[in-house]
Structure 1
Amino acid sequence: MNNANVYPLAALAIGAARSLSILTPVADLDGMEAVTIEANFQYGSGGTTCSAIVATTFDGGTTWRHIARFDFTTATAVKVANLNGHLSKAVTAYVDLASEGVLDGVLGDQLAVLVQSTGTYVNSVLSVRASVR
């Protein structure tokens, strides 16, 4: 991997309810073999649910495949997922991830976060970082 590094995927205040939207992707991750992802939710008050879904792409960002999902409610929490692109898997149909799910063995050349929230949060912050190797 030529660009092994720690990349910020998200750093944003969570306020009013937010429909599922993608944040700016990190590109040029050709040869990514593994990634450790840390999602840090600093709760203030209010709100109901907040989901951060990390996705990868194989077609330059036209289609995004969800590889890790982090779900938060009304408490501060730090969650991690470690994914490896070298795992041997059987052929399977792609489906969106359920709460706290991972899809291991699938790493394209970009990473991005999709964020969705319900309720109105106050003084709450979500950050997501990826250690790519």
Structure 2
Amino acid sequence: MMTPTNPADELAEIRAEIARLKQREAELRMAYFATPDLPKIGRMHKVELVTRRRIVFEARLLPAEIRNDPTYIRERVMRVLRTERIPNAERTPSLVPVSDPLAELRPKPRKRLFAGLTLH
């Protein structure tokens, strides 16, 4: 896979890869749940099926006069970064280097503390 030079294209490709990996994870999880004799020990990892219980508060079971009371309601504001394919855009990423808009925000490399010293 070629690395895109534009941060928007790179973000979209990363999200597509994450979606592909999540899909594959879901397939493997279902395989383990459906087939108990599937090998659970690999060369470097093992899989365990663990059952956990927890107590969950079900707010939907409260009476409507409590659920709809403004005293118990708050607004939550979230900022979301969406990616969307541009119609009729070229399929391959551009090979023209694009300046990195985040370069100034990244920490600068530190000078090595003992770089000028020599061993005796």
Question: Above 0.5 in TM-score?
Answer: no
Q: Which has the higher strand share?
A: 1
The alignment's TM-score, normalised by the length of structure 2, stands at 0.18
Whichever of the two has the greater Rg, that structure is: 2
Decide which structure has greater helix share. Answer: 2
